[in-house]
């Protein structure tokens, strides 16, 4: 018997309070990822992470699960939408794991933590896309090479539809 493993899409984005526009983009992204049959992996806390998780789990009969890779030692750090809370106890070093464990990384808004996850994904050779309309780190790094070790760029994605096309192209 052969088991088909679903691709894991890591989503990196702003923690804390985010605008309703960014939250709506993240929720829609979560829904689309669930409909497409992916697993979702993120930092599992608030802000963009909470919004993308909420959108993801709102889809009934989905195949994938919502995973939250937490920086601390307690599952209680996870937002209420995370289905599998994974405490790491390693603080910011968990950003490397968020990047490594996904088959691709999508950046939504974000600050320095999001930038570090994008940089780790870049170094690990993972496809990285940035949702430009969400602003923040996503808008800053979209279309850029993060360093010369790769010839591609962070894919500039201007809509949720473009995110899904990007993922379909690279993850099949």
pLDDT tens figures, 15-37? 999 999 999 999 999 999 999 99
- Please answer whether residues 107 and 130 qualify as being in contact, where contact means their C-beta atoms are separated by less than 8 angstroms: yes
- The 10s digit of each residue's pLDDT in 98-157 is 999 999 999 999 999 999 999 999 999 999 999 999 999 999 999 999 999 999 999 999
Query: pTM score, two decimals?
Result: 0.97
Share of the chain above pLDDT 70, in %: 98
Domains plus CATH for the chain? 8-171 (3.40.50.450)
Query: CB under 8 Å to 121, separation ≥6 — which residues?
Result: 10, 12, 99, 100, 102, 105, 127, 128
Nearest CA among 38, 55, 13 for reference residue 170: 38
């Amino acid at each position: 018997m052969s088991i088909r493993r679903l691709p894991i899409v890591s989503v990196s984005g702003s923690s804390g309070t985010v605008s309703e526009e960014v939250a709506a983009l993240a929720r829609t992204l979560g829904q689309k990822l669930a409909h497409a049959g992916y697993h979702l992996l993120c930092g599992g806390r608030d802000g963009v992470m909470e919004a993308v998780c909420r959108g993801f789990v709102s889809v009934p009969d989905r195949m994938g699960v919502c995973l939250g890779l937490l920086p601390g030692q307690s599952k209680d750090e996870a937002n209420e939408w995370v289905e599998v809370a994974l405490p790491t106890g390693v603080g910011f070093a968990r950003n490397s794991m968020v990047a490594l464990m996904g088959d691709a990384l999508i950046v939504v808004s974000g600050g320095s933590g999001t930038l570090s996850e994008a940089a780790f994904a870049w170094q690990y050779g993972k496809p990285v896309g940035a949702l430009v309309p969400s602003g923040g780190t996503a808008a800053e790094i979209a279309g850029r090479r993060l360093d010369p070790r790769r010839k591609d760029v962070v894919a500039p994605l201007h809509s949720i539809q473009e995110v899904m096309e990007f993922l379909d192209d690279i993850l099949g």
